[in-house]
Structure 1
Amino acid sequence: MTAPQFSVPGAGALRETGRLFALGATVLTHMFKRPFQARELLEQFWFIASVTILPTALVSIPFGAVIALQVGSLAQQLGAQSFTGGASVLAVIQQASPIIVALLISGAGGSAICADIGSRTIREEMDAMEVMGVSPIQRLIVPRVLAAMLVAVLLNGLVSVVGVLGGYFFNVILQGGTPGAYLASFSALAQLPDLYISEFKALLFGFIAGVVAAYRGLNPRGGPKGVGDAVNQSVVITFLLLFFVNLVLTAIYLQVVPPKGA
């Protein structure tokens, strides 16, 4: 008589989480191994940048405008109009910019990475590469993850500049703010660590988007339909992880780095 089998609730989700973290660790270790796939990296970098740069620039304008208008309206109610520029710029640089970049990279570049890896998986190309002694992670996944990270860092600077300029324009034109007060509050409250944490967030978010897309591409279920489902799942999972990691990083940053003038 065989012993009864008991299933632990959530065991499947924990197993998938462990495999995802294992893939992320493997990708990190393979980044420093030779041979380095420079040509593949450049091709993926250009592809991800070409499909994300224009949507990122267009989305950053209304984001910066909305933040500036909301902060400016609240500052007027509290009688603190002189701090509008600093508050809106910090919100754009620290929070909005890396999140916007990561979401667009996940939605455009990450979905393409997942579909490419998934189609190769169901055609058994990954198994064929392993039989020939070629590591699919080093050959295909590492260049794509690195490309997502580099594009995220570069686009984060673009979004920060465009968002700050958009917030400046809407605050000065629509809300009657003065350019001098906007710039003075910005220089009084902003500091270099704010830019550093923004770029670090973008780098980490790009890594997360690339790893999640690659993981779901390596594990499709059900043929071509499974690849489509994997693309949708990769985008949703990336969004959830991004917001959680952003919360953790922001909480740590605010505890470690004191505000300017404190």
Structure 2
Amino acid sequence: MTAGTASANFPGAGALRETGRLFALALDVVVNTFRRPFQFREFIQQSWFIASVCILPTALVAIPFGAVVALQLGTLIIQLGAQSFTGAASVLAIIQQASPIVTALMVAGAGGSAICADIGARKIREEIDAMEVLGVNPVQRLIVPRVLACMLIATLLNGLVSVVGVMGGYFFNVVLQGGTPGAYLASFSALAQLPDLWISEIKAILFGFIAGVVAAYRGLNPKGGPKGVGDAVNQSVVITFLLLFIVNLVLTAVYLSVVPQKGS
């Protein structure tokens, strides 16, 4: 048995190969980002498209998401007799965890699926191959503007989700749970710190990058015609969701270990 045959029969060899190709594409995107000419017009068009399909669903999801976090934490904290810390717990949970996750899910589900379908359709029509024959780098021409657009819109939408979620949490805590506005704001300002917002934006940028790269990779590798493009879209969304939760766990653990928490 040759080495190639042994590696092909190795369980999980296909998954490892796909993972390596995904990381290679991510590195290729980073390298081509700094090459000229930069496709500025394509970047603006893709940013506008992703924002147009994501902004309304993101805002609508942020309201109940913030409300659920505020109500659940508020009820638990009231049971523990620490009602004065309701604002801090709700706001920190929304800013550090809920906002980047909700933003990334919306960008991956709406924008990422559209990117995967677009690139996949170009692939099966052999437009990508034609670009390569003509000496045009498809990564620089098509993928880099889309990935950067995902990163930009994820960052902006993360701010929107944070504001809407905090306002929703404030409303539901004060109105439904009988909290006082002063205690809510005082506990928030007492425990929250600027690095909490930084880690939220860093997560949003990284999540946008992951969503764009995974969508582009699956679009470049459809298997078997239009049905393969549809399967690639579903796979890109599922893979992105799995990666987002894993990366979020790692970033949160590193942040809580490195950055000293206020009041501790």
**Corresponding pairs, count:** 261
- In the alignment, which of 232, 235, 247 is matched to residue 233 of structure 1? 235
Question: Taking structure 1 as reference, are residues 236 and 3 closer, same or farther at Cα in structure 2, changes over 3 Å only?
Answer: closer
Cα distance in 2, alignment partners of residues 72 and 34 from structure 1:
52
1:35-46 to structure 2, matched below 5 A, reads 35-46=37-48
User: Are 1:10 and 2:15 an aligned pair?
Assistant: no
The C-alpha deviation readout for 1:69-94, integer Å capped at 9, x for no partner, is 01110011100000000000000000
- TM-score calculated relative to the size of structure 1: 0.98
- In the alignment, which of 87, 90, 107 is matched to residue 85 of structure 1? 87
The C-alpha deviation readout for 1:160-201, integer Å capped at 9, x for no partner, is 000000000000000000000000000001000000000000
Cα distance in 1, alignment partners of residues 66 and 223 from structure 2:
40
1:144-223 to structure 2, matched below 5 A, reads 144-223=146-225
The secondary structure found in structure 2 opposite 1:220 is: coil
Q: Which runs of structure 1 show a deviation greater than 2 angstroms over 4 or more consecutive aligned residues? A: 2-6
The secondary structure found in structure 2 opposite 1:79 is: coil
What residue ranges of structure 1 are gaps of 5+ in the alignment?
Answer: none
Cα distance in 2, alignment partners of residues 206 and 72 from structure 1:
31
User: Are 1:68 and 2:70 an aligned pair?
Assistant: yes
Cα distance in 2, alignment partners of residues 3 and 155 from structure 1:
52
The secondary structure found in structure 1 opposite 2:254 is: helix
Opposite residue 88 of structure 1, the aligned amino acid is: S
Give the match for residue 253 of structure 2: 251
How far 1:246 sits from its partner (Å)?
A: 0.1
Cα distance in 2, alignment partners of residues 259 and 188 from structure 1:
11
How far 1:3 sits from its partner (Å)?
A: 5.9
Computed over aligned residues only, the root mean square deviation of the Cα atoms, in angstroms, reads 1.0
Opposite residue 29 of structure 1, the aligned amino acid is: V
- In the alignment, which of 34, 54, 59 is matched to residue 56 of structure 2? 54
Cα distance in 1, alignment partners of residues 61 and 191 from structure 2:
25
Q: Percent identity?
A: 79
Give the match for residue 126 of structure 1: 128
Give the match for residue 34 of structure 1: 36
Opposite residue 247 of structure 1, the aligned amino acid is: L
How far 1:218 sits from its partner (Å)?
A: 0.1
User: Are 1:103 and 2:105 an aligned pair?
Assistant: yes
